[in-house]
Amino acid sequence: MKAEVYSTTYRIALSDAQQARLDRKWPDGDPLISYKKIESLLEPLPVEDLYWSHHTGQFLYFTVRGNDSEGTVTEVIRRLEKKLGGS
């Protein structure tokens, strides 16, 4: 038998401005930038378990599946910086 890495969880430190963008809410209390919006932004990348919260510090967590984790992480960062602004 041989075990292989199937997925890896990463976290990205968010700047104050990036965290503030994720924390913004509509008047009804729904997030302005929802998980669904970020997930669609990252499609079709093999990324799952996207999570951020002021309870966990200024970090965005996600799990990458597949063989090209470095390439996927690089692309995730590029897309997030385009949406949330640079750090």
Residue bearing the bigger pLDDT, 53 or 79: 79
**Per-residue model confidence (pLDDT) at position 56:** 75
Range of the domain at 20: 7-84
- Rounded Cα gap, residues 35 and 50, in angstroms: 7
Q: Per-residue b/e over 8-44, b at no fewer than 16 CB within 10 Å?
A: eebebebeeebbeebeeeeeeeeeebeeeebeebbee
The answer as to whether 34 is a domain residue is yes
The answer as to whether 1 is a domain residue is no
**Per-residue model confidence (pLDDT) at position 4:** 85
CATH of the domain at 13: 3.30.1370
7-30 pLDDT per residue, tens: 899 999 999 999 999 989 999 999
**pTM of the predicted model as reported, rounded to 2 decimal places:** 0.85
